[in-house]
Amino acid sequence: MDVHWYPVYTNPRAEKKAFEALEQKRISTYLPLHKQLRQWSDRKKWVDLPLIPSYLFVQISITQMVDVLMCKGVSRFLYFSGKVATIPDRQINQLKLLLANDYELEVVEKIFEPGKTVIVKAGPLQGLRGELISWHSSQKLLVRIDYIAQSILVQVSPAFLEVL
């Protein structure tokens, strides 16, 4: 069986419930979470929030799609040109690498012009590929997530970058 990563759209604010339901069915699932400090009227607390709201990723064969759609919180698969969209393993691995380190990430829906393709040659993000762009008057590394119109920006020292 051919196994691929597929982006799944969830019901609003149901990413964690959908993740748990998929895990209970033993479906390989990835929900990128990041810590954020939230303030209430009486306290502050660090909470884990989805990096990309309303999305999670499943690694399945095409025959398991019905099982995914039957899970609580799952809304639908994403389609591109009439076919179910797949996410390359490389992009999932890049997401995991970005979240494994305490970098300040910014997720944006803006469509960016292509930048210089670079690779991080040293440091905790070594091996990460992306594009060097100018954003809010500073140079940032842009990592695109195909088919979901999301990009992740991270500040990386130019000394760690090598143009490909």
The percent of residues in the chain predicted with pLDDT above 90, rounded, is 74
Give me the mean pLDDT over the 141-161 stretch: 90
Q: Residue 147 — very low, low, confident or very high, per pLDDT cuts 50/70/90? A: confident
Q: Are residues 7 and 82 in the same domain?
A: yes
Question: Is the pLDDT at 137 greater than 90, yes or no?
Answer: no
Q: Are residues 134 and 110 in the same domain?
A: yes
Q: Are residues 83 and 94 in the same domain?
A: no
CB 31 within 8 A of CB 56: yes
Q: Are residues 73 and 120 in the same domain?
A: no
Ramachandran quadrant class, 19 (left: phi over 0; alpha: psi -120 to 50; beta: rest): alpha
Give the domain range for residue 94: 90-163
Q: Are residues 95 and 113 in the same domain?
A: yes
Question: Is the pLDDT at 1 greater than 80, yes or no?
Answer: no
> 47, 62, 87 — which closes off a domain?
87
- Predicted TM-score (pTM) of the model is 0.88
The domain tally of the chain equals 2
